[in-house]
Amino acid sequence: MEGICYTALHPSIAALLVLLTALGIGGRPLSELLPGIAADVFHSGAGGLSLLASSMGGGAILGGLWLGQWAHSSNLTEIAVGSSIVAAVAIAVAIASSTMWVALPAVAIVGLSISCAGIAIQSSIAAQPRYPRLELFWAPRSNA
């Protein structure tokens, strides 16, 4: 119970977890809806689904590579917020599109943005000063 109270009262951790929850509820379901979007919106069947899913996965891989190469602990919060905004706009474009060739780059940007935001949020939380009672589990001390 102490850990929940600590998390809820810590301003940065609480805000980052709210953002991560919003991404999980608002952004992640797009990947589960891709079969229906491919079939009912684009009338493309399995081929269209494979293009959409590959586009999202490719974007996520590029996002992870970019974040691993260029991000620093000092700008992770800005990356998380910016990526979340970009993901929301890209989701709107992908959903509003009636052509596959507009939706494919939008879905790739969704994958990239959600990947960057998720990694940045989790890395930001991991970089926060730790709750002293939980430090035993997170950062074992050496006797040297």
Q: Which residue has the tokens 């620093």?
A: 72
* Overall average pLDDT of the 59-75 stretch: 87
Q: What is the dihedral of CA 56, 62, 65, 70, to 10 degrees?
A: -120
- Give residue-wise pLDDT tens across range 4-43: 887 888 888 888 889 999 999 988 899 999 999 999 999 9
**By the 8 A CB rule, do 3 and 10 touch?**
no
Per-residue confidence (pLDDT) for residue 7, from 0 to 100: 80
Spell out the residues 6+ positions from residue 115 whose beta carbon is closer than 8 angstroms to its own.
59, 60, 61, 63, 64, 67
pLDDT of residue 13: 84
Sequence ranges of the domains in the chain = 45-128
Residue 72 has pLDDT above 80, yes or no: no
Per-residue pLDDT reduced to its tens digit, 81-107: 999 999 999 999 999 999 999 999 999
